[in-house]
Each structure stands twice: as C-alpha cells, then as structure tokens.
Structure 1
C-alpha cells in the first residue's frame, strides 16, 4: 500500500482552481451593470441617443465588462479609487453617450473620461497592441482617438490608466482614504478641473454603488 504522504502532491493538483491561489496573483475586478446603473441611470439603453453620437453610446451592460477588464489591467483594486474613476467617466461621457468631444469639438479629445489629445497620445503609446499604429498617426489626433475608441477596454480604460500613471502618489493616497477631500484633490490637482456639484453627484453615487 502506498503511503498517504506519497499521495499528497497528487491530491494537491486536484484542488479546485484558486483554492490555494498564490497571493502574488492579482484577483480580477468585477464591476456589474447594476452598479453602473446606480451611477448612470440613463445608461439602460442607447435608443434615445442623438444621431450625432451614432456608434459612441454604450449601455451599462456594455460598459461593465470593459470597465472590469480595465480596472483589472491597471490593478485598480481600491474601491475609493474605482468610485472616483467611475464617477468621473460617467459625468464626462454624459452617462456613456459620448466618447468624443462634440462641444466645442476639440479634435482628438475623447475616450470615456474625455482626455486631451496629448494624454491620448501617451495612453495609446502605452498599449502594446496599438502603439506602432499610434506612432504612425501621431500627427493626427483624431486618428489616435479612433484607435482608442475602437476597443471598449481601451475606451473605458482611459480613466484607470490616467489615475494610475498620471497622478502623483500623494493624490492616490488621499483618494484611497475615501474622503471627500481626497476626491476633490484628485479632480482639482490631477484631472485639473473643478470639483463642482455636478461631478460630486456622480462620485457620491459611485461610492454608494461600490461600497467605497
């Protein structure tokens, strides 16, 4: 009879996947359509989207997997940081109706957090799958934006990329506290815009939805 001990290595291979997962392996982030709808209640459908945004509008159901993939890719596991990004992109994109700047219409400005062309150039260059194409059209901001909005994960991933690569660590640390002061610091000191009541409304709803 074989020793029980000799069978242990084989038994360990039969454990359910993830049962003894290494702490070095990052866990995926899941954002649900229901959570997004709490933040952006008008994103149930694109049926009423204006003709000018044809092809731009996304529903909560479409946004959820793209946002989950982006948060996972950029290891955005802090609920407070997730809420800040979700609130920002919901506001800037008109609850996912737009991914291009139509008013006043700045060439190349877009993705769901309405990044400037300069940031979009940096963002596209950071994505291995499109960096060569982005380099080839770097003098055409609209063409760079076309590359980004063509893939939902890139389109919805701009906010997570921006926070994790363009914000000072002190801004992220304050944001991770979950405080309103931390959120205001992110909006004012990193995004570079006004932490007004309209943006705050979306942030509050995102905090509620994610339990941040």
Structure 2
C-alpha cells in the first residue's frame, strides 16, 4: 500500500506542513549581537557586583528572553522594540540588576525597574504568578521575587508595560521612530526624564535593530 504522502499533491503537502508549524509573528527575534551593540558590557557576568548575586544576565540570555517577550506581546515594530531595549538596558545597568538597590525601593524591579504598583498589576496578569501574587500582595518584594526568577517575566516587563500601560497616542508616536516619539514615551508613559544617558541607549538600540 502506498503512503498517502506519495499521492497527495504538492499544495496539500505544503498546507500540512504550515498547519504543523508554530505560528510566530515576523520580526520578533532579537540576537545577542544586536544586544551587544547596545549593551557591550553584557558579554559576561564575571564581574557582577557582590550586592547583586544572581541578578546579572548576559546578552545571549537577554536575547532569548526578549524574543519570547516580543512574541508574547506581538511587539513587531522595530521602533517600539528599540524603545523597550534602550529602556531596559539603561535601567538594569546593562542587565546587571533587576532590583532597585539605589536608593533601594522595596518591590521595585524587573529589567525596566517598574514600580511595585506596576509589578503587582503585571504579576496578576500572568497565569503562573496570579494566585501567588494575590497571596503576597501586601509584600512588594515577594511579588518582585515571583517575576525576576523567570527570565521571560523579568525581561518581558518592558514589552508588557509598553503594550498595556501606555496610551494609544504614546504608542502611535513611538511607532514613527522619531526622537520626539521616544521622548513622549519616556516622559508621558514611563514618567521620567528623557535625558542624554537614556537617549544614548535608545539611539544604539535604533541602530542595532534598524528601526
């Protein structure tokens, strides 16, 4: 008896292959080399400060976690990806930190250094952390612990924040890839100063991603 695959037309075989392949949004993969252009100090964690055991991540680790986050939140715009990458690189000290140590705000962290309020919201929307976050909601450090122990959640906070907490006009302005759009994102959504240090990381991210 001949195999059914020997008699099916080519178009049918292609359809079978397509249906069996996982659906992945185009343009969501980021590489370690791209990240190293933005965060050249993330090659290794050999010189991690003693105050931050276990917090450091390399460019390779960041690339895997960020690609997962971009897929999860369907962040396909290079301009938006660059904004997220620039933000988390700056806020985490090129991935050396995922807690606020200076001045040390309890519960503030993940790679974009979200406030405890946003971390509680974020954890409540992740199926795997929802119940635990509710149980420890009065202990912001405990909520943060749930998020930073899983790279996907730790690095995914920036993409989550942009796609769910920033208003549509901010996201639309950011889509243009302009400096004014980036400034609006930092000032009107992140709620901080669009200073030169942050701008430099964003500019490198734009170059790295071709935004």
2:4 counterpart residue number = none
- 8 Å CA contact 1:109, 1:115 repeated in 2: yes
Q: Matches of 1:184 and 1:84 in 2, distance apart?
A: 10
Q: Is the 8 A contact 1:69 1:153 kept in 2?
A: yes
Residue 4 of structure 1 is matched in structure 2 by none
TM-score normalized by structure 1? Answer: 0.91
TM-score under structure 2 normalisation?
A: 0.92
What residue in structure 2 maps to residue 113 of structure 1? 112
| Structure 2 residue aligned with 1:50 | 49
- What does 1:21-170 correspond to in 2, within 5 Å? 26-27=24-25, 29-170=28-169
Offset at residue 14 of structure 1 (A)? 1.8
User: What whole-Å deviation, never above 9, does each CA across 1:112-151 have from its counterpart, x for those lacking one?
Assistant: 0000000000000010111001101100000000000010
For this pair of structures, how many residues does the alignment match? Answer: 203
**What is the CA–CA distance in structure 2 between the aligned matches of 1:158 and 1:27, rounded to whole Å?**
19
Partner SS state of residue 53, structure 1:
coil
**TM-superposition CA deviations, 1:19-74 (whole Å, max 9, x none):** 9x9xxx55251100000000000000010111111100000011111000001100
Deviation digits for residues 149-202 of structure 1 (CA, Å, limit 9, x no counterpart):
010000000000000000000000000000000000000000000000000000
SS at match of 1:14: helix
Shift, 1:106, TM fit? 0.4
Task: Name the structure 2 match of 1:173.
Answer: 172
Runs (4+) of structure 1 exceeding 2 A deviation are 10-13, 16-19
Q: Distance in 2 between matches of 1:131 and 1:203?
A: 32
Contact 1:111/1:155 (<8 A) preserved? yes
Q: Do the aligned residues in 2 keep the contact of 1:174 with 1:182 (CA within 8 Å)?
A: yes
Q: Distance in 1 between matches of 2:36 and 2:17?
A: 32
Does the 8 Å CA contact 1:26/1:75 hold for their aligned counterparts? no
SS in 1 for 2:51: helix
For the residue of structure 2 that corresponds to 1:52, the secondary structure is coil
